[in-house]
Structure 1
Amino acid sequence: MAVGGIGSGMTDIYDPQFVKTVFDRCSDRYITFSLICSFGFTERWRQQCVAAMPSPGAGGARGYDLMAGTGEVWPHLLKRFDDIGSITVVDISSGMHRRAMERLHAHRAHRIEFIEDDVLASDLPSESADFVISTFGLKTFNPEQHARLAALIARVLKPGGVFSMIEASDPKGWWLRPLYLLHLKVVLPLIERILLRGAQDFAMIGTYSTNFGNAAGIAATLRSHGLEVEFSKYFFGCATGVSGRKVGPSS
Structure 2
Amino acid sequence: MDRRARGHDEASEDIYDAKFVKGVFDRCSGRYIAFSLICSFGFTERWRRQCVELMPTPQAPNPTGYDLMAGTGEVWPHLLERFPGLGAITAVDISTGMHLRAMQRLHAHRAHKIAFIEDDVLASDLPDASADFIVSTFGLKTFNREQHARLAKLVARCLKPGGVFCMIEASDPKGWWLRPLYLFHLKVMLPLVERMFLRGARDFAMIGTYSTNFGDASHVAEMLRGEGLEVEFKRFFFGCATAVAGRKPGVFAPS
Question: Fold-level match, TM-score > 0.5?
Answer: yes
**Structure 1 counterpart of 2:185, from 183, 186, 190:** 183
2:223 is equivalent to residue 221 of structure 1:
yes
Question: Hey, what does 1:111 align to over in structure 2?
Answer: 113
Question: Hey, what does 2:161 align to over in structure 1?
Answer: 159
Question: Hey, what does 1:64 align to over in structure 2?
Answer: 66
In the aligned structure 1, how far is the partner of 2:163 from the partner of 2:38?
34
The secondary structure found in structure 2 opposite 1:11 is coil
- 8 Å CA contact 2:192, 2:201 repeated in 1: no
**Structure 2 counterpart of 1:204, from 203, 206, 220:** 206
In the aligned structure 1, how far is the partner of 2:157 from the partner of 2:6?
33
What is the correspondence of 1:5-154 to structure 2 with a 5 Å cutoff?
A: 5-6=7-8, 9-154=11-156
What letter corresponds to residue 5 of structure 1 in structure 2?
G
2:241 is equivalent to residue 248 of structure 1:
no
**Ranges in structure 2 where 5+ consecutive residues have no aligned partner:** none
The secondary structure found in structure 2 opposite 1:35 is helix
What letter corresponds to residue 195 of structure 2 in structure 1?
R
Aligned residue pairs total 251
- 8 Å CA contact 2:60, 2:132 repeated in 1: no
Describe the superposition over 1:183-228 as per-residue Cα deviations: whole angstroms up to 9, x where unpaired. Answer: 1100111010011112421110100000000000000000000000
Describe the superposition over 1:54-106 as per-residue Cα deviations: whole angstroms up to 9, x where unpaired. Answer: 01123221100000000000000000001000000000000000001111111
What letter corresponds to residue 175 of structure 1 in structure 2?
W
In the aligned structure 2, how far is the partner of 1:164 from the partner of 1:104?
23
Please list every run of at least 4 consecutive aligned residues from structure 1 whose deviation after the TM superposition is greater than 2 angstroms: 1-9
Question: Hey, what does 1:193 align to over in structure 2?
Answer: 195
The secondary structure found in structure 1 opposite 2:230 is strand
Q: Shift in Å at residue 231 of structure 1? A: 0.1
What letter corresponds to residue 202 of structure 1 in structure 2?
F
The secondary structure found in structure 1 opposite 2:57 is coil
In the aligned structure 2, how far is the partner of 1:15 from the partner of 1:248?
35
Q: Between 84-93 and 194-203, report the one with greater CA deviation.
A: 194-203
In the aligned structure 2, how far is the partner of 1:42 from the partner of 1:13?
22
- 8 Å CA contact 2:60, 2:252 repeated in 1: no
- 8 Å CA contact 2:69, 2:137 repeated in 1: yes
What letter corresponds to residue 243 of structure 1 in structure 2?
A
Q: Between 49-58 and 123-132, report the one with greater CA deviation.
A: 49-58
The secondary structure found in structure 1 opposite 2:141 is helix
Describe the superposition over 1:83-139 as per-residue Cα deviations: whole angstroms up to 9, x where unpaired. Answer: 000000000000000001111111000010000000000000000000000000000
What letter corresponds to residue 118 of structure 1 in structure 2?
D
Structure 1 vs Structure 2: percent identity of aligned residues? 74
In the aligned structure 2, how far is the partner of 1:4 from the partner of 1:250?
43
